[in-house]
C-alpha cells in the first residue's frame, strides 16, 4: 500500500507541476550540458510540450525515418547531420517523458520504487545483491543514455531479469546447484 501511495503521489505531482518543471528545464538547462544533450533535451521537450501528459507515442521520436518527430524540430535546420545520426536523446528519462508523457514517467518511477521496496523485503536479500546492483546501475545509466525504451539494448534485458529476480520470492523447495546430490541406480550417491 505504501508503494502505491508513493507512486500515485509522484504521478499527481508530475501532472500538477508540469509547467514549473518544464520552465526550469527550458530556462536553467545549459545547452552544452553533457556534450550538447541539453539543447537536444530542451528542443524535444519544447516540441512535445502540448502532448506531455501522454507523450508523442512509443518510438514516435527516434524511429529513424522521415516520420520521426525529430524531423519536425528546429534541429533539422541547425544540425541536419546530427539529426540523421541520432537514435535517442541520450537521456532516458527525457525519452520516457517525450514518448510516454508524465503518465509513463510516473509509472516508471512507481516501478522503480515498487521493485526496490520488494527487494528490501525479500527473504534472501544477500542473494539479490547482484540483481540490485544491476537495477541501480541501469537507473543511473538511464540518466545519460537511453536504456529503458530501447528493446535491443542488452542492459534493458539485464534490467528486466533483475526486476524479475527481485520481485519473485524464492520457492519453498530448498535446492542449490552446489548442494544437489546426484543419485543414479542402486542408491549410488555421487554428490
Partners of 135 in the beta sheet? none
Structure confidence by residue, pLDDT tens digits, 44-59: 777 777 887 888 887 7
pLDDT band at 189 (very low <50, low <70, confident <90, very high): low
Gyration radius of the chain's alpha carbons: 22
Upper half-sphere CA count for residue 178 (Cβ side, 13 Å) = 0
Buried b (16+ CB within 10 A) or exposed e, 121-140: ebeeeeebeebbebbeebbe
Q: What is the pLDDT of residue 17?
A: 80
Q: What integer pLDDT is reported at residue 173 of this predicted model?
A: 41
In a domain, 188, yes or no: no
Give the whole-angstrom CA distance, residue 174 versus residue 172: 6
69 is a domain residue: yes
pLDDT at residue 137, as a whole number: 92
Whether residue 176 has pLDDT greater than 50: no
Is residue 155 one of the residues assigned to a domain?
no
Smallest CA-to-CA distance from 97 within 22, 189, 28, 27 is with 22
Residue 74 falls within a domain, yes or no?
A: yes
In the predicted structure, residue 179 carries a pLDDT above the cut 50: no
Q: Is 105 within the bounds of a domain?
A: yes
pLDDT at 187: 52
Closest CA to 99 of 6, 108, 111, 112: 108
Q: Which of 61-65, 70-74, 108-112, 148-152 has the lowest mean pLDDT?
A: 61-65
- Of the listed ranges 71-80, 106-115, 145-154, 167-176, the least confidently predicted one is 167-176
Across the range 100-114, mean pLDDT stands at 86
CA distances from 177 to 19, 165, 171, 189, 191 (A): 54, 17, 14, 16, 11
Could you list the residue range(s) of the whole structural domain that residue 70 is in? 2-123
Is residue 180 one of the residues assigned to a domain? no
Confirm whether 161 is domain-assigned: no
Give the number of domains in the chain. 1
Placement of cell 521493485 in the chain: 115
- The whole-number pLDDT of residue 169 equals 65
- Give the model's confidence band at 13: pLDDT under 50 very low, under 70 low, under 90 confident, else very high: confident
- For 133-166, how does the pLDDT look when each residue is reduced to its tens digit (9 = 90+)? 999 999 998 888 888 877 778 888 888 888 888 8
Amino acid at each position: 500500500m505504501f508503494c502505491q501511495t508513493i507512486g500515485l503521489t509522484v504521478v499527481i505531482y508530475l501532472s500538477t507541476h508540469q509547467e514549473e518543471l518544464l520552465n526550469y528545464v527550458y530556462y536553467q538547462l545549459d545547452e552544452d550540458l553533457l556534450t550538447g544533450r541539453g539543447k537536444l533535451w530542451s528542443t524535444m521537450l519544447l516540441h512535445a510540450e502540448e502532448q506531455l501528459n501522454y507523450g508523442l507515442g512509443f518510438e514516435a521520436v527516434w524511429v529513424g525515418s522521415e516520420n520521426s518527430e525529430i524531423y519536425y524540430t528546429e534541429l533539422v535546420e541547425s544540425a541536419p547531420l546530427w539529426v540523421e545520426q541520432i537514435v535517442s536523446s541520450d537521456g532516458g528519462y527525457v525519452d520516457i517523458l517525450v514518448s510516454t508523457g508524465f503518465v509513463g514517467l510516473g509509472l516508471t518511477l512507481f516501478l522503480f520504487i515498487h521493485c526496490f521496496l520488494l527487494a528490501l523485503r525479500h527473504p534472501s536479500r544477500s542473494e539479490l545483491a547482484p540483481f540490485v546492483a544491476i537495477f541501480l546501475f541501469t537507473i543511473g545509466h538511464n540518466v545519460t543514455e537511453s536504456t529503458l525504451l530501447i528493446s535491443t539494448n542488452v542492459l534493458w534485458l539485464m534490467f528486466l531479469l533483475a526486476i524479475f529476480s527481485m520481485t519473485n520470492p524464492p520457492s519453498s523447495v530448498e535446492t542449490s546447484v552446489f548442494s544437489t546430490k546426484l543419485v543414479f541406480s542402486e542408491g549410488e550417491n555421487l554428490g
